[in-house]
Amino acid sequence: MPERYGIMLGSGSADFNASAMPLTVGTAYGPPSAPLYEHDIGGQCVLALARHGDRHTIPPHAINYRANIAALGSRGVTAIVALNTVGVISAVLEPGQIGLPDQLIDYTWGRAHTFFGGGKEFAHAEFTEPFAGPLRERLLRAAVKAGVTCFDGGVYAVTQGPRLETAAEIDRLERDGADYVGMTAMPEAALAAELGIDYACLALVVNRAAGRSDRPIHDDVEIHSAAAIALAMRVVERLFSE
């Protein structure tokens, strides 16, 4: 079956939807964070959803991840490209660059993290590789064709938020093997796996993690966000135009 792409927009990228028509979709888990927006890119219909809401009012711990993934799935989406803003822990990247993690560690808690329950039969979703390999490969090829340097690999540590981490917490994450730290890849990736939807994270590095820079984190974010978002958009637009 040919792919039907969805794109999950993160912090700073909701403007992607500015000129598109909204599509209101309901789910059994409540409304998603925002309407879906249909885009025609390279002849493909791509559905975009801003996970924090159109006005960036929903913090990471309060996102209705089940509704977001269910909404995309209900419209036939088979592959989701997730844009996630992250801090970089290791020396693999610098702020303003982008990467494609291949593993994650989930430190979140209290989030509705599965579609199973409520007396329904359940299954144990395969999650050895949380980010779909073939979709990652397509994104890497799209980056090459777009002339964008995109780091291949790395471990994404998913923290609860909405506060940022302490320097000691970042030291612990590094000891655990993490390269990136963010707040939104889980349970998003696991829910996509439960529905059989391919999911890959395009990590937008907007700051050095706590204790890794002499500059305040919010200053880092302000300086580097636009560059990382621009690179990511070049990659996804090339992907969708294939």
CA distance linking residue 173 with residue 158, whole number of Å: 10
CA distance linking residue 31 with residue 137, whole number of Å: 32
Tell me the pTM: 0.94
Between these two residues, 16 and 125, which has the higher pLDDT value?
125
Place of tokens 């059989």: 196
CA distance linking residue 31 with residue 186, whole number of Å: 19
- Look up residue 109 and give its two tokens: 């808690």
DSSP code of 166?
P
99-109 tens-digit pLDDT: 999 999 999 99
143-183 tens-digit pLDDT: 999 999 999 999 999 999 999 999 999 999 999 999 999 99
Q: Residue 211, exposed/middle/buried by CB under 10 A (0-12, 13-18, 19+)?
A: middle
DSSP code of 212?
S
